[in-house]
Amino acid sequence: MGQAAILIYDYRHYIWHNPFMTDSDHQHERTFLSGWIDTHCHLDAAEFDADRDVVIAQAQKAGLSHIVIPAVAASNFGIVAQLAAKTSGAVYALGIHPLYTPQANESDLVTLRAAIAAALSDPRFVAIGEIGLDYFVPELSTPEARQRQEWFYAEQLRLALEFNLPVLLHVRRSQDALLKPLRQIQTKGWNAGGIAHAFNGSRQQADAFISLGFKLGFGGTLTYERSLQIRRLAAELPEASLVLETDAPDIPPAWLHHGRGVNGRNAPHELPRIAESLAALRGWSLEQTMTATSRNAMEVLPRMRVLKEKTAPIPTFPQWGKELQSPPSLGEG
C-alpha cells in the first residue's frame, strides 16, 4: 500500500524517481503519461453545477492528468468545449448521444459537422462522441425509436469517416448492431478506432471491437464482485485494449452505491480507486495500471498528445450553448 499511496498523492514525484526508466522514458512519461486518464466523464452535467471547481481540484489532486468530456446533444457542444478550455487537462468530444436522438433534429447533424470542422484547430477536441445505440431503455427500443437511433448513428459514422476521427461509443444491448456499420466505414478507409465505453458485452464482441481498433472502457462496474463477466474481461483482455473511465456522475463504484458520498454521485477523483480493482484483477501494480491505461488512451485519442496547456486559442462556436433539455429517460449509466 505504501507504493499506492505515493502514486496517488505524489504521482509525478514517484514517476520521476522510478529507477527503471531511462531519461527519454522520463521525458516521455512526464509529457504524456504522468497521470490517470478518465476517458469518459460528463463533467458538464448538472450534478456538478454546485461544486464543479471542487470536483476538478479533487481530480487533479488524485493524480488525473486528463479528463475526456463527451457531448450528448448539439445544445451542449459549446458547453463541453468551453469547459475543456478552462479546465487543465480536459479534452472533449462532439456528438449526439443515442438517448438524445428523440429530441434531436436532422439539422443538428449540420451543426455537428460545422462544429467538428471548427474544432479541428483545437487540440482539446479529440473524438466524435458520445454516439451509439441503446437497446435497453424501453422508450428507445420501439421499432421507430431504434430506427431513429440507427439513423443518427450511421450519419455520425459518416462524419467519423470523413474526418477519420475516433468515436466514443455508448453500447447497451447493441454490440452487434454497432459493429456492422463500423465494419462498413472501415472498408472505406476509416481506421481511427475509438472507445467502447462502459463495455458490457461478450468476449467475442470485445474481440470484434478490438479488431476494429477499439479500446474498451472499464469503470465503476469493475468494483462490484458480482460483475463477473466484466471482471473476467478486464482480467483477460489484451493489455493494449484497456482504458479507464468513471462515466461520472453515473455508474457509481461500490463504495458510493445506495446514495453514499454526495448523493451517490460518481466523480472523476474516484478513478485511481477504481483502477485498484483493475490492478488487483490483472495482478498489476498501480503504476503499471496507470502506464498501460494512459498509454492506451493516448494511442486511441492521438489528438490528446499534442494538447499544450493554455497555448491553443479557444475556438468560437457560433450558435452553440443553448439550454440542454433532459432526455426522456436516462436509465442507468
Chain residues binding Zn ion by CB under 5 A are 130
Nearer CB in complex with Zn ion: 145/198: 198
Q: How far is the CB of 39 from Zn ion (least distance, A)?
A: 10
* 48/119 Cα distance (integer angstroms): 25
Q: Of 139, 195, 159, which Cα lies nearest the Cα of 77? A: 159
Strand partners, 244: 218
Nearer CB in complex with Zn ion: 8/131: 131
Which segments of 49-174 does DSSP mark as H helices, in order?
52-61, 77-86, 107-119, 143-163
Q: How far is the CB of 234 from Zn ion (least distance, A)?
A: 19
* 309/191 Cα distance (integer angstroms): 28
Q: How far is the CB of 94 from Zn ion (least distance, A)?
A: 13
* 214/191 Cα distance (integer angstroms): 10
Q: How far is the CB of 72 from Zn ion (least distance, A)?
A: 7
Q: How far is the CB of 232 from Zn ion (least distance, A)?
A: 23
* 261/290 Cα distance (integer angstroms): 25
Q: How far is the CB of 68 from Zn ion (least distance, A)?
A: 10
Nearer CB in complex with Zn ion: 122/130: 130
Q: How far is the CB of 69 from Zn ion (least distance, A)?
A: 10
Packed helices 2-9 and 271-282: angle between N→C axes, nearest 10 degrees: 140
Strand partners, 172: 134
Whether 129 contacts 167, CB under 8 Å: yes
Q: How far is the CB of 155 from Zn ion (least distance, A)?
A: 19
Nearer CB in complex with Zn ion: 196/286: 196
Nearer CB in complex with Zn ion: 108/130: 130
Nearer CB in complex with Zn ion: 29/95: 95
Nearer CB in complex with Zn ion: 7/99: 99
DSSP 8-state symbol, 170:
E
* 211/98 Cα distance (integer angstroms): 24
Nearer CB in complex with Zn ion: 32/152: 152
Nearer CB in complex with Zn ion: 130/134: 130
DSSP 8-state symbol, 315:
P
Whether 94 contacts 119, CB under 8 Å: yes
Residue number of the CB atom closest to Zn ion:
130
* 227/244 Cα distance (integer angstroms): 16
Whether 136 contacts 88, CB under 8 Å: no
Pairing of strands 242-244, 214-218: parallel
Q: Is 64 helix (H, G, I), strand (E, B) or coil?
A: strand
Q: How far is the CB of 250 from Zn ion (least distance, A)?
A: 7
